[in-house]
Amino acid sequence: MAAPVYPAWVTRWVSGQWRQKKRPPAIRPTRPLALANKVANRRERAGEATCITEMSVMMACWKQNDFSDTACAEEIRMFYDCVAKAEKERKDQNEEDTLSPRGNLTSSKVNKLLRRFPQITRYV
């Protein structure tokens, strides 16, 4: 008497091949799991525009006085003072080694830190 022939799914079900494996898959990294010694340069997000009101007052004065610099000397001086003050604040803020307003380091500061503390890839 010949043994009965069962469909393929029945033999897989009986042998337990239908169960999912319980262990996680083996992950083999293609590179060593270490930080690189530099990061990509990312452009800073543009800050808010400064001195807009002073510039608009200066341009309105120019328009009223047929683009005469002598008649609008006070407005021009106020605009240049505002620009100088904003430039000084921006330069002071860039010189500090603090976090950005979002709480992240800039890419140039990260690269500077990674140069100071390079990754050890070989053990002696």
Structure confidence at residue 83 (pLDDT): 94
pLDDT in tens, 40-63: 887 766 667 889 999 999 999 999
Separation CA 75–CA 56 (nearest Å): 10
Cβ–Cβ under 8 Å, residues 78 and 54 = yes
Percentage with pLDDT > 70 across the chain: 73
Share of the chain above pLDDT 90, in %: 27
